[in-house]
Amino acid sequence: MTIIPAIDIINGKCVRLTNGDYAQQKIYNENPLEVAKHFEAAGITRLHLVDLDGAKAGAVVNLQLLESIASQTKLVVDFGGGIKTINDVEMVFNAGAAIVTIGSMAVKHPELLEEWLMEFGAAKFLIGADVLDEKIKISGWLEDGGIGIFDFVGKMIGIGVTNIFCTDIAKDGAMKGPSIELYKKILEQHPEVKLIASGGVTTIEDVHQLTAIGCDGAIIGKALYEGTIQINELITHNS
């Protein structure tokens, strides 16, 4: 189980949204680099960096912040938000991301994603499936993606991607536990997927449950900022 803390960026600050609502944002730190360094010092090796400004604008916005974190820590950073073209992908890799996170583009333009996979390799991509009532949502969770989660995962596996994280929007930032049943269903239908849980992970018990059902990783945001999970608990869980 890979533990992946999340840093979500709006206006250069570390924030968390509740249920994907930009109007319900809470600023946790004015300096995301400081947060990343804190995670690294505690023994964390991965980071999920989300450019929420970019997701909303449809273009990468917080590239400079990615460069700072990638150059001043040894964290393996996956970065997403507003990536639309192969030039964007190259730009994000050049800025220091180890992995590029693709959400809406995988739904809208899977043929472009296929080209990127051929160019850079499937291991360099993490596909984000944002879900409400088992249906995919896109464009910063603002639009319906027109496909269900199980079909979408099958489609991604079909083009060679198995690294997928799934966020249940109803759970995200709500601190009410993750969608265990949804993840179980995905893993039953698509056992080859390397599924990363995201949204609602609130206690260390949630992490144990996700490990038990076969999730490959967990993205954890608000629980770390609110202190309902301590980093040392996560490090102990992983060791």
Q: What b/e sequence results for 52-76 when a residue is b if at least 16 CB atoms lie within 10 Å of its CB, and e otherwise? A: bbbbbeeebbbbebbebbbeebebe
Residue 210, number of CB atoms within 10 A of its CB: 22
Given the structure tokens 């600050």, which residue do they identify? 13
Angle (CA) 234-97-94 rounded to 5° is 165
3-class state of residue 47 by DSSP: strand
30 by Cβ neighbours in 10 Å (0-12 / 13-18 / 19+) ranks as exposed
The question of whether 151 is a catalytic residue gets the answer no
Given the structure tokens 């073209």, which residue do they identify? 85
3-class state of residue 16 by DSSP: strand
Identify the active-site residue in 8, 51, 78, 216.
8
Identify the active-site residue in 130, 172, 206, 216.
130
Q: Which two tokens stand for residue 115?
A: 């080209």
The question of whether 130 is a catalytic residue gets the answer yes
DSSP letter, residue 11: T
Q: Which residues are catalytic?
A: 8, 130
